[in-house]
Structures are given as C-alpha cells and as structure tokens.
A and B are shown apart, each in its own frame.
Chain A
Amino acid sequence: MSTVVQPVPRSFGRTIGRRFRDWLPALVVFVLVLVAWQGLVEVFNIRQFLLPKPTAILGALRDNRSDLWSAGIVTFKEALGGFAMGSTAAILVALVLARWRRVGGAIMPYAIAANAVPIIAFAPITNNWFGLLNPMSKMVIAAVLCFFPVFVNTLRGLTSVEPASIELMRSYAAGEIETFRRVRIPNALPFIFTGLKVASVLAMIGAVVGEYFGGPLDALGVVIQNNVALFDFPLAWAGIIVASAFGIAFYAAVAVAEHFLTGWQPAADSRSD
C-alpha cells in the first residue's frame, strides 16, 4: 500500500527541480538581455531618445511610483468598464445567435470582417460623443475591442457541441433552455475564457491608446504621450511598464477565474492564445 503512495512526494520534488530547469534558459536570457541593453547603451553612448538604460527606467519608475500608480488605476478602471460592457454584450448576443443558428451562421463572417476595422481609430469620435474627460469615451472603445474575440469564441463554444450530447438531451425531452444550461454553456466555458483572456489584454490597450487621442491629465496614456512629447523617455517607458503590469495582472486574474470555473474540463482549447 505505502509503496503505491510513495512516488507522489518524490515526483513532486522532482517537478520543482524540472520546473526550475525548464525556466533556467528563460532566466538566463532575461539577465543577458538586460545586461546587454545596459552595456550597449553605455558603450555606444546611445542617447536617451531611442532606448534609455534599464536603470534609468527603473529610477523613473521609483521616483514617480505614486503618480504612475494612480494614473494606472484611472486607466485600468476604463479598461475594466469596457471589458465588462463588451464581454457581457458579446456573451448575450452569442447566446441569442446560438439559439437561432441560421442567423448566427450568416452573421459570423461579418463579425470576423468587422473585427478587421481599426476600431481604435474611432477613439476621436467617442471622445467627441462623451467628452474628452468622460471615462465612458475610452470604455466604449475598449468595449467594442473586447466584443469580437468574446463573441466569436463564445458562439464557437456554444455551437461546437457533440451531436450525441444534444441527441441525449432530446431523448430526455429536455427543452431548449435545459440543453443550454446543461450542455451548451458548460461546453462553451473554455472557449469563453479564451476570448476573455484576449479581451483583457485588448481592453487595456484600448484604454491606453484611446487616451493618446486625448483624455484626463491623470490617465496613463496621457502621461506616456506627454512625456514622449517632452522627450522624457525613461518616464514614458516607466509608464509602459505600469501599463504592461496592469495588462498582465488583468490577464492573470481572468486565467485564475478560468482555473476555478473550468477546472473540471479537459484542457480543451484553453491553451490557445
């Protein structure tokens, strides 16, 4: 009996060792890149324009951390609001179109083509709709950006159900709502999360870039833009790092939610993108 249980702790220790060995090359690359970056900037005396030294960026980050943090929060709220609006709308529309398949199938190509529209270029228009300082102007851009990946993935998840499962539900005389609740929606969850993860990144990008076309002075995009204009590149890069950190944290939060909500699902499509 005990010999059967024994392998577990041993292999656990080994996984940690293997984990470390898996990540070692990545760590080495990270350090090498940073050292080479710092070294090249110093040796060739590249001006701060193109590429400030990593230490200069870190210094700017440290000196302005409270300003950058509050700017990040302002922008993140816009991203979050847009994410919530866009994803909710996308899931609702996908649910409706999955119920009426013919309409859904006919609309799908247009949704994909509409996704090719440079939506961020519409930021000046939403700025004019809602006013530059109204966070709604960035939320709408983020929402439209989020809509398409969530919509396309949700619809795919709701409709790529095993026919046998549907037949089984039919044989139990289950209604359309019951079929959605028991088969289609659980099947769609991994797909929905794939879309939500893409959307989380897009929402942050939409908010930051939307602010490039104008916004409140305490928003991250405006801070980055203004410091580029002032040629204060270390501070601008520090702003980018803050934006990236919020983007990655957002993505990670969605990934954690996915882990808890779809843990029982076979890994399906959740790995892609």
Chain B
Amino acid sequence: MASRGATVGPAVRSAGLSVLVLAVLCAVWEAYKWIGERAEIRWPFPVNERTMPHVHDMVGQLFEPSRRNGPLLIDVLLDAAAFTAKEAAVGFVLGASVGFLIAVALSQSRLLQRGFLPYIVASQTVPILAIAPMVVVGLGSKGVTGWVAVAILAAYLTFFPVAINTLRGLQSADPRALELMHSYAASRWTILWRLRVPASLPYVFSALKISATASIVGAIIGEAPSSIQEGLGGAIVNFNQYYSLEPRNLWATNIVAAALGITFFLVVAGAERVVVRRAPENVA
C-alpha cells in the first residue's frame, strides 16, 4: 500500500504542477493583453483582439463549427493532426531504423567512419529543413504521393541525430567489458548485440526525443509548400490567409500542433523509461 502511494503521489503532484504551469502561462498572456489594450502598447507589436485573442476564445474556437453547418473545428483539426502524425510516424520509424543500421555499420569499420562521419556531422550544421519544398515538390514530380514525400522528409530529419548518437553510444561500451568479451573469444556479433547495443540505448533515446520533435516539424513544414491540404501544415497555411478575419482559427490550429509535438515527445520519453530501465536485465 505504502509503495503504491509512493508511486501515485509524484504522478498526481506532477499533473497538478503541469496544470499550475499552464494556468500561470495563460494568466501572463491575459494580463499582458489586459494591460496592453489599456496602455495601448504599440511595441514590439500592437496588442489587440487580432494579435492576442483571449485564451478561452482560442480554445472555445475548437468547439465552434469550422464553417456554416460544417463539422466542429476540433474534428477537422484532429483529422489533420492524425494525417500529419501518420506522415511523421512513418518517417520517424524509417529514419530511426536507417540511422541505427548505418551507425552499426559505421561502428564496425574505421575506414567507413573516416569516409562518412565528417559529412554526417557537417550535415547537422546545414539547414536541412530548408530543403523541404524541394524534396516534396521534386518527389511529387516523380509521381510520389504527397504524404509519402513528406514522410521521407521526416525520415531525413530523424536520421541524422539517431545515426550520430547511436554511433557515440555504440562506442561508449566499457573498455573493461570489451576486454572481458574478447577474453571469452566472443564474436563481433555477440559483442555488438550483448554489449554495444545495450550501452548505446540511452544515447539512442536522447536522439529519438530530438527526432520526435523534428519529424513533426518536418511533416508540418513539408506540407506547407506542396499544397497538401489534409494535414496541419495545410491548415496553418489555409487559416493564415484568413487571419485578419478570424485569427482564432490559426491559434487553435497551432495549439493542436503544439499538443501533437508534445504528445510525440512524451510517447518516446515513455518508451525510454520502459526500455532503458529494462536493458540491464535483458543483458544479464
């Protein structure tokens, strides 16, 4: 009983704290809006109903019809979020698998590492996201369906952090453990599977958490230039055009996009807690 109370306690407290943090953020927003409208703040931007809608208006907008006699906005946006999540998830799994396999291949050969690692590192300093329009429009012209092209982009964004961190993790195995494996004449495969891969898991997951966000961003940005209407990126472009008429639609869309990004992150963080904690038992 006592142990159960100990595990429930922190969960309840962190949930309560999350609500509190959200409430504080909303209060700051409303306070700035209240003061800004009365003091007629013009810098850095004019504060009014158009630039800063009420928080309850943005959330309330979710439960208004998206158009006359149409479905509720939240239904439209949840469909869009599911579409974007599909693109991001397919890309995430693809990119993470390829990144992991390439890291394993590189970890087996110094020559391959010297040949390719500098580019994998340099590619992190390149605005990969900037090629989004080209990848999507380019693949589209080759007859690739829009959402697949976006998934490939998300995969590309996922690939690099996973490859780099996995390689670092595979090399982080304890040298004494390596010596022990060698003294038992363990094969390359055994060392890889029993020692290096478990050692790499914390590194892999820290990359996966970065990639979870990157894949969502990639999916949203990939949709924008390619006139894919079904996803959140399409919704953002669409509502952006009518911002001066109805700013709350864009805000509501961005709230859903933010929620999707955080959900992806939390799913990976949850998987990390399960997998990384169990890893040592699997080895033993």
**Chains A and B form a bound pair:** yes
Does A128 sit at the interface, judged by CB under 8 A?
yes
Cβ B130 vs Cβ A240 within 8 A: yes
Cβ B236 vs Cβ A251 within 8 A: no
Bound Cα distance A54, B192 (Å): 38
Bound Cα distance A231, B261 (Å): 32
Question: Looking at the complex, which one of B111, B141, B221, B266 makes contact with A209 (CB distance below 8 Å)?
Answer: B221
Cβ B262 vs Cβ A247 within 8 A: no
Cβ B262 vs Cβ A50 within 8 A: no
Cβ A243 vs Cβ B130 within 8 A: yes
Interface SS majority for chain B:
helix
Bound Cα distance A110, B262 (Å): 10
Which residues of A, 1-54, contact B by the 8 Å Cβ criterion?
22-26, 28-30, 47, 49-51
A205 surroundings in chain B (CB, below 8 A): 127-130
Does A118 sit at the interface, judged by CB under 8 A?
yes
Cβ A50 vs Cβ B129 within 8 A: no
Binary contact track A165-191/B, C-beta < 8 Å → 1, others 0: 000000000000000000000000000
Question: Looking at the complex, which one of B139, B213, B244, B266 makes contact with A118 (CB distance below 8 Å)?
Answer: B213
Cβ A130 vs Cβ B130 within 8 A: no
Does B69 sit at the interface, judged by CB under 8 A?
no
Among B115, B127, B257, B266, the most chain A Cβ lie within 10 Å of the Cβ of B127
Question: Looking at the complex, which one of A118, A201, A224 makes contact with B216 (CB distance below 8 Å)?
Answer: A118
Cβ B264 vs Cβ A121 within 8 A: no
B116 surroundings in chain A (CB, below 8 A): 26, 29
9 nearest A-B pairs in the assembled complex, by CB-CB distance: A116-B265, A25-B115, A124-B240, A25-B114, A129-B45, A50-B138, A117-B258, A205-B127, A49-B141
Q: A117-B257, A118-B258 are in contact. List 6 more A-B contacts (CB 8 A).
A: A30-B119, A116-B212, A124-B240, A136-B44, A140-B44, A272-B168
B139 surroundings in chain A (CB, below 8 A): 50
Bound Cα distance A237, B126 (Å): 13
B101 CB → nearest A CB, Å: 18
Contact flag A25-B221 (CB < 8 Å), given A117-B258, A240-B131: no
Contact flag A118-B134 (CB < 8 Å), given A130-B45, A201-B127, A208-B127: no
B163 CB → nearest A CB, Å: 13
Cross-chain pairs A/B with CB under 8 angstroms, 10 sampled: A47-B141, A116-B261, A118-B258, A121-B233, A125-B250, A125-B251, A125-B254, A221-B130, A228-B133, A243-B126
Cβ A248 vs Cβ B247 within 8 A: no
Bound Cα distance A128, B248 (Å): 12
Bound Cα distance A24, B221 (Å): 37
B104 CB → nearest A CB, Å: 19
Bound Cα distance A233, B265 (Å): 34
